[in-house]
């Protein structure tokens, strides 16, 4: 599956235990998306466009209103990085 560099970075963060939280405005439209690492830091590469792209490719999902996490398909698509060792 073709993933951009930003999508790869977000997926790698999710594979390491991170999560994506989305915030809606008063009209129930998507207002903000923040990707958190497992340490609690925010990732600046996760934009609304990247979030929508990952969701459309079904590599992230949310269950029962919880934050978005990586799916099994997403875990197989992510490439290894040096800090994973």
**Which residues of 1-85 form beta strands (DSSP E)?**
19-24, 30-36, 42-43, 60-61, 69-70
Which backbone phi and psi does 38 adopt, to 5 degrees? Answer: -70, -20
Quote the pLDDT of residue 58: 95
Selected residue with higher pLDDT from 82 and 37: 37
**Dist. CA 9–CA 52, nearest whole Å:** 15
**Dist. CA 45–CA 35, nearest whole Å:** 8
Q: Are 38 and 20 in contact (CB under 8 A)?
A: no
Instruction: Convert the pLDDT of each residue in 19-37 to its tens digit.
Output: 999 999 999 999 999 999 9
Q: How confident is the model at residue 81 (pLDDT cuts 50, 70, 90)?
A: low
């Amino acid at each position: 599956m073709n993933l951009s560099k930003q999508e790869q970075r977000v997926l790698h963060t999710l594979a390491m235990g991170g999560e994506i939280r989305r915030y809606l405005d008063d009209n129930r439209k998507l207002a903000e998306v923040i990707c958190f690492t497992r340490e609690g830091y925010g990732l600046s590469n996760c934009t609304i466009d990247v979030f929508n792209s990952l969701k459309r490719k079904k590599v992230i999902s949310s269950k029962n209103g919880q934050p978005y996490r990586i799916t099994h398909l997403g875990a197989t698509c992510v490439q290894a990085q040096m800090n994973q060792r």
